[in-house]
Amino acid sequence: MAGTAKAKRAGIETPARRAFRQLRKNGPATVSAGVLLVLVFVALFAPQIAPHHYAAGDFSANFAAPSSRFPLGADFLGRDMLSRLIYGTRISLSVAFLGAFFAFFVGLIYGVIAGYFGGRLDEIMMRIVDILYAFPGLLFIILLMVAFKTGFGGVATTNPVIRAVGTLDAKLGGVFLIIVGISLTSWVGMARLTRGMTLALRHAEFMTAAKALGASNRRVIFKHLVPAIAGPLVVQVTLSIPGFIGTEAFLSFIGIGATPPTPSWGTMIAEGFSAMRSHPHLAIYPGLALAIVMLAFNFLGDGLRDALDPHSR
Amino acid sequence: MAVLAIRRILSLVPVLFVISVVTFLLMHSVPGSPFATEDKPLPPQVKANLEAYYGLDKPLITQYFSYMGNALRGDLGPSYLQRNRSVNQIIRQHLPPSATLGVLALAVALVIGVPIGVLSAVRQNTLTDYVGMFIAIAGVSVPAMTLGPLLIWGFALELGWLPVARWGTWQQAILPAITLGLGSAAVLARLTRASMLQTIHEDFIRTARSKGLTEQRIVTKHALRNALIPVITVIGPLFAALVTGSMVVEQIFAIPGLGRYFVDSVSSRDYPVIMGTTLLYAVVLVISNLVVDLSYHLIDPRMRLENSA
């Protein structure tokens, strides 16, 4: 980045650096960023860190109390709780990051096109968004699950596409379809927000100046418009991540998300809950793990908002 | 006002129409039949007879219009899964627990959320504010799946103060209402705080202060009344979300609500139940938005002025 280097030489603080410095002053946000980094590490190296495989059960050890062999105890099939929690970070975090990635880029591109070029195109694009917005997103995701997943009371289908998607999903432990469902529904809000901000800035002086200097549409959009609206969008997408994580856990909890033995925290809560009276910790540990990740993303998003938007405090 | 109300009500018709069409097409495009499953196939002749009986052999468009015709007359059809019950009966029996739970959760949200928001705003940038907002963010982040088991473990199993589950007595309603309402309480707290902060810097607050009113009177009589306007506007969508989003809480506390039926009906392709519950949820959603829109005009005199001008 030539601009950054130049600014550094001149001793000027770039907006990104200022935001980063602001963020580091925010205690909860810094701690959350640290927690998330640790969890990313745990997710990446789950096979090395976890003492057991997530599906390795020992029937003689079902509901085993915490011990040196099972640090947090074992579940109803004698599987190690800690190992399953560790592997579970993979699911929650991939849903979080892939959902955020898709929502951010699709929403950004869609919203910028609609807002920047305006006119009839904008009208059509926004009508589509309105309809998608009014439609119950959860119903769509549930229908998607039921349509493609095998073994949900579905009749053996001969459609090769559905078979292929179902098989791929089954290979990935039932997570693939959840991510697809979340991605397909999450960009709509982002597109609206992006379009709104694009409209607000369309006739801003710096945009007019760039155009007056003969910049192409592409240059105006990528060099001037997108950097100006990226901050609030990053905040928004960070704050919507807990929702993605919650959706995955919810679907797995009600039994149409991740397929056993895939260790989704939502599945683990549901499984643990059936033994709530005798072994409450089996439902509470995955619940706490879920809350910690959602909490971290919320605090980080909140800190980012304070850092990127000087008007908020 | 009347013109505005009529216009708003009419604008709901196309929204509901689109939702009904899309739901209908989506659920019929999902492969599989409500009668035969992979592990329990039916003889083709029996299946064909069943489909003919329920009109599933007719073209989709005919099915849609005959369904909607009945639905508009208040008949949501039979359930395919529970052959002895109609969708109307299912809704009549299972909506009340969901709605009661929604109302109670909303009450919890208001009683906890608004005071925290007001306190945080009045003591902006003090410890009270930081603690209040910390709790608010934590409240948004703890899902019902985490909170429910925690509350059951603490208050029902360890302390034995409240029942573990089921529905009927007021004691049984406490834990589910808190589990469902706490997240919304956090949302309301943040919103109230932001709105209060904006109001406190308005001219009329300075006027009130210069008149020598007590701080308490300024906050409760002058600031809060105005600050609550945006809060009231979110109550509608919040209530709709609480009624429709209670699936997890209903399952955790074994409450015979509508949420579970919705999920079950989708996976068993019980078409009339899917349509019935989706339409019901959509109607709850659009009507709560409508009520809020209209109440906004009633509460805020400035809005009325803008409209008549």
Q: Mean pLDDT, 10 residues at a time, over chain B (309 residues)?
A: 78 82 81 67 79 82 87 84 84 88 91 91 87 87 88 82 78 85 89 88 86 84 83 80 80 83 77 85 80 74 57
Q: Which of B267, B281, B289 to mutate to test the interface with A (most CBs of A within 10 A)?
A: B267
Q: Can you give the pTM of this predicted structure? A: 0.83
Only one residue has tokens 């030489």, namely A9
Residue A80's beta-bridge partner residues? A74
Measure Cα distances from A311 to A232, A306, B131 in Å: 12, 8, 21
Using a CB-CB cut-off of 8 Å, the residues of chain B touching A242 are 140-141
pLDDT of residue A39: 92
Distance from CA of A3 to the nearest CA of B (A): 36
Is A146 in contact with B164 (Cβ distance < 8 A)? no
**CB distance A172 to A91 below 8 Å:** no
**CB distance A265 to A286 below 8 Å:** yes
B146, B247, B267: residue with CB nearest A153: B267
Is B141 in contact with A156 (Cβ distance < 8 A)? no
Is B146 in contact with A272 (Cβ distance < 8 A)? no
User: What single-letter DSSP state applies at residue B125?
Assistant: T
Q: Which amino acid is at B106?
A: L
Say if residue A158 is exposed, middle or buried (CB neighbours under 10 Å; 0-12, 13-18, 19+).
exposed
- The Cα–Cα gap between B145 and A288 comes to 9
For the segment A88-94, the average pLDDT, to the nearest whole number, is 91
- The Cα–Cα gap between B202 and B196 comes to 10
B15, B26, B143: residue with CB nearest A246: B143
Helices marked H in A118-225: 119-134, 137-148, 160-171, 175-201, 205-212, 217-219
- Please give the residue of chain A at the shortest CA–CA distance from B247: A254
Is A284 in contact with B150 (Cβ distance < 8 A)? yes
Distance from CA of A147 to the nearest CA of B (A): 5
A11 vs A275, higher pLDDT: A275
Distance from CA of A275 to the nearest CA of B (A): 11
**CB distance B290 to B239 below 8 Å:** no
- State the ipTM, two decimals: 0.78
pLDDT at A130 over 80: no
pLDDT at A265 over 80: yes
For the segment A156-165, the average pLDDT, to the nearest whole number, is 68
pLDDT of residue A8: 60
- The Cα–Cα gap between B139 and A173 comes to 30
pLDDT of residue A311: 56
Using a CB-CB cut-off of 8 Å, the residues of chain A touching B265 are none
- The Cα–Cα gap between A198 and A111 comes to 8
pLDDT in tens, A272-298: 888 877 888 888 899 999 999 999 999
For the segment A90-106, the average pLDDT, to the nearest whole number, is 92
pLDDT of residue A154: 47
A151 pLDDT tier (thresholds 50, 70, 90): low
Q: In sequence order, what DSSP letters do the residues of B185-215 get, joined into one string?
A: HHHHHHHHHHHHHHHHTSHHHHHHHHTT--H
Exposure class string for B269-283: b at 16+ Cβ within 10 A, else e: bbbbbbbbbbbbbbe
Is A153 in contact with B32 (Cβ distance < 8 A)? yes
**CB distance A258 to A175 below 8 Å:** yes
Using a CB-CB cut-off of 8 Å, the residues of chain B touching A294 are 141-143
Angle between helices A281-308 and A15-25 (to 10 degrees): 140
- The Cα–Cα gap between A290 and A288 comes to 5
- The Cα–Cα gap between B135 and A279 comes to 28
B19, B23, B251: residue with CB nearest A254: B251
Is A153 in contact with B27 (Cβ distance < 8 A)? no
B30, B149, B263: residue with CB nearest A269: B149
Using a CB-CB cut-off of 8 Å, the residues of chain B touching A252 are none
**CB distance B101 to B255 below 8 Å:** yes
Distance from CA of B30 to the nearest CA of A (A): 5
Cβ contacts below 8 Å, chain A against chain B, sum to 133
Using a CB-CB cut-off of 8 Å, the residues of chain B touching A143 are 26-27, 30, 266
pLDDT at A1 over 50: no
